[in-house]
Structure 1
C-alpha cells in the first residue's frame, strides 16, 4: 500500500473515531420521527434556579456524576414525567419518560 494511501486511511479512521456519538429518544405515533416532548418542560439553557422556580422541586436530585477534567459536572433532577440533565448549573437536555409524551398532531402526511 502506498504511503499516501496509508496516511489518508489513517486520517479518515481518526476522524471517524473522533466524532461524538449522539442519541435521542424518538416517538413514531404517525410514522414521522419527532423528539418526545411535553407541552411544558424545561428547555436548554435554563438555570437550576429557573427550573425550580417554574416547575417546582424535583422528586429526586441525583448526585453530580464525576467527569473528566475540564468537563462540566452533570447533575440530574427527576420529575414525574421527565428527567432534566444539567451541565454545571444549566439545562442541557430534558428526557421525557416513556409513555408520558403527548402525541403530536396528525400532519396529514401518509
Structure 2
C-alpha cells in the first residue's frame, strides 16, 4: 500500500512537470481579413451585403436563434439581429516535401 502511494505521488509530480499551458491572445490566434456581419445588423442588411447563405437553420429556442452558413463564416441571429459571426477555420496541413 505504501509503495503504491509513493508511486502515485511521483507519477502526479512528474505529470505536473511535463504539463504546460500556452496562452495566445485572441488577436494573435490567426490571421484573417474576412469581413463578417457586425453585431446588431439586420437580416436584410446581411442579405444585401453578403447575399444568400448556403444554408439556414432555426428558429431554435426562446428567444428565437437562427444560423446562416456562408462559405467562410457563420452568422447567428436573435430574431432579426446579428448576435455573433464566426469565421470558419480551415487548418493548414503541412506538406511532406
Tell me whether the two structures share a fold, i.e. TM-score over 0.5: yes
Give the Cα–Cα distance (whole angstroms) in 2 for the partners of residues 54 and 77 of structure 1: 14
Higher fraction of helix: 2
1:73 is displaced (CA, Å) by 0.6
How far apart are the structure 2 equivalents of 1:50 and 1:63? 19
TM-fit CA distance, 1:33? 2.4
Q: 5+ residue gaps in structure 2?
A: 1-22, 92-97
Alignment of 1:81-92 (within 5 A): 81-92=72-83
Contact 1:38/1:96 (<8 A) preserved: no
The number of residues matched between the two structures is: 67
**What are the Cα deviations for residues 23-43 of structure 1, in whole angstroms up to 9, with x where unaligned?**
xxxxx8xx4322766431101
SS at the partner of 1:92? strand
Query: Considering only CA atoms, is the larger Rg found in Structure 1 or Structure 2?
Result: 2
Matched, 1:76 2:67: yes
Q: Which runs of 5+ in 1 are unaligned?
A: 1-27, 101-110
